[in-house]
């Protein structure tokens, strides 16, 4: 199996790098078209969230595998940014390490908030989008289905999902509570209407929020989100400046490719000098970083600001992390074994059948020539021939098993096919 992932995440790269490399949903078609053009023999899945940008590729033969340099060039050309701005932050894993990496990602062990449930939904969505663009194949199907299954096992067999396990809960619980003693008298403006917006709004409602305004480029999507929270109201996206002046809490999760609120725009909209808590969960960011310095009553937090608090969360769960890592190690070994068996099994079966078929033919000829042999003698000869065949098969099949375990059995497989004229 030839599988690799190139990636950067909140552990390896700052938000300023991640937002430059992020893939928006409306550009996925272009991304997959470009990947298919550059690497026609490779399967591909792109996973892009606020905390990570990852491209998984897989192919049958190692010579068709995209290199780290080639994928870095793809990022550079696609996003129109020099490689020098991100190359040191773009890491690579191959073979079993790539499998383990995705299993950790889907299980939230690689998340900023340990145990958060949203990542597995994002992995499922990335896999689904790749399928819609005909970018998947046997290896990526097996890999992502395995990752989704493993995440379910981690959730049910460990306690990682206990406590505050979402970015929204950590942000509101830690940062929001440091600004406001209560939320029931606050006006909340939600910009965007996706899954993250819904999750954050759910948590704010649990904190007592009464008045919610929802503004989104798609009025229909805003209405759909508002319908899930009785008492919420939608507001035209074109009048965003007006609603910014009314809000005590702003939550933004649009996924826009450029900041939707600049420093100048915010300064003009800020007509009241009272505390405002802005939670920017976009990647790229929706609010320019300088907005946090407009005055002392503006409290702007983005994804990277959550890092220190989330690290405390992680330290408190080390025992569960160790248990989850053990399960993921077992699942990675199991996955590799299954994939290697799938790759080598048909050839091993055909080679055994071929050699034993030859031995049976020769035994039949021998029995005709030596008709005077007793049944017991014939059985003895047959068992001896079978042992000889098995002993002759053992060295090439053992070599194939060892090479497959290393993750690249195709060279030896091809040699066996040619040497023994094996057809699948």
pLDDT at position 215:
93
Catalytic positions are: 50
The helix/strand/coil state of 161 is coil
Residues contacting residue 100 through CB under 8 Å, at least 6 positions apart: 93, 328, 329, 332
Residue 221 burial (CB < 10 Å; 0-12/13-18/19+)?
A: middle
CA 420/CA 191 separation, integer angstroms:
65
Domains of the chain: 2-161 (3.30.460.30), 167-310 (3.40.50.720), 395-424 (no CATH)
Q: What residues pair up with 91 in beta bridges, in sequence order? A: 7
**What would the two tokens of residue 295 be?**
């005055």
pLDDT at position 419:
74
CA 306/CA 51 separation, integer angstroms:
11
Nearest to 78 by CA among 135, 32, 126: 32
CA 185/CA 340 separation, integer angstroms:
60
pLDDT at position 405:
58
Residue 46 CA from chain centroid, whole number: 8
Q: Indicate the helix (H) or strand (E) that contains 272.
A: none
pLDDT means per 10 residues in the chain (424 residues)? 89 90 92 95 93 92 86 96 95 94 94 82 95 93 95 90 68 80 90 85 85 91 88 89 90 88 91 87 89 92 78 73 92 85 68 80 84 85 85 78 59 70 66
CA 69/CA 75 separation, integer angstroms:
10
| C-beta separation of 405 from 340 below 8 A | yes
């Amino acid at each position: 199996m030839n599988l690799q992932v190139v990636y950067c995440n909140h552990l390896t790269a700052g938000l300023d790098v991640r937002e430059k490399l992020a893939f928006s949903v409306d550009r996925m078609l272009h991304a997959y078209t470009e990947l298919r053009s550059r690497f026609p023999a490779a399967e591909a899945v792109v996973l892009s969230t606020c905390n990570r940008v990852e491209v998984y590729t897989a192919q049958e033969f190692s010579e068709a595998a995209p290199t780290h340099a080639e994928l870095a060039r793809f990022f550079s050309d696609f996003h129109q940014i020099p490689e020098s701005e991100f190359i040191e932050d773009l890491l690579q894993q191959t073979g079993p390490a790539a499998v383990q990496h995705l299993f950790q990602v889907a299980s939230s062990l690689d998340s900023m908030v340990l145990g958060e449930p949203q990542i597995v939904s994002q992995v499922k969505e990335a896999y689904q989008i790749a399928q819609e663009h005909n970018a998947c194949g046997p290896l990526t199907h097996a890999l992502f289905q395995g990752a989704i299954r493993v995440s379910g096992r981690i959730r049910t067999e460990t306690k990682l999902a206990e406590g505050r396990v979402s970015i929204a809960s950590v942000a509101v619980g830690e940062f929001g509570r440091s600004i406001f003693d209560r939320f029931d008298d606050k006006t909340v403006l939600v910009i965007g209407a996706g899954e993250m917006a819904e999750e954050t709004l759910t948590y704010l409602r649990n904190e007592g929020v009464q008045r919610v305004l929802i503004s989104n480029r798609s009025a229909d999507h805003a209405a759909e989100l508002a319908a899930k929270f009785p008492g919420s109201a939608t507001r035209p996206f074109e009048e965003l400046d007006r609603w910014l002046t009314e809000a005590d809490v702003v939550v933004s999760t649009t996924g826009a490719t450029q900041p939707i609120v600049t420093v100048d725009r915010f300064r003009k909209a800020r007509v009241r000098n009272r505390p405002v808590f802005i939670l920017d969960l976009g990647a790229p960011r929706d609010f320019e970083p300088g907005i946090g310095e407009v005055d002392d009553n503006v409290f702007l937090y983005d994804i990277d600001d959550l890092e220190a608090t989330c690290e405390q969360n992680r330290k408190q769960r080390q025992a569960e992390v160790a248990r989850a890592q053990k399960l993921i190690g077992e699942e990675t070994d199991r996955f590799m074994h299954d994939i290697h068996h799938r790759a080598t099994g048909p050839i091993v079966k055909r080679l055994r059948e071929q050699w034993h078929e030859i031995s049976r033919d020769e035994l039949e000829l021998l029995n005709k020539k030596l008709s005077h042999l007793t049944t017991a003698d014939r059985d003895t000869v047959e068992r001896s021939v079978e042992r000889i065949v098995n002993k002759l098969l053992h060295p090439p099949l053992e070599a194939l098993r060892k090479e497959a375990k290393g993750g690249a059995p195709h060279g030896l497989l091809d040699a066996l096919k040619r040497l023994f004229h094996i057809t699948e």
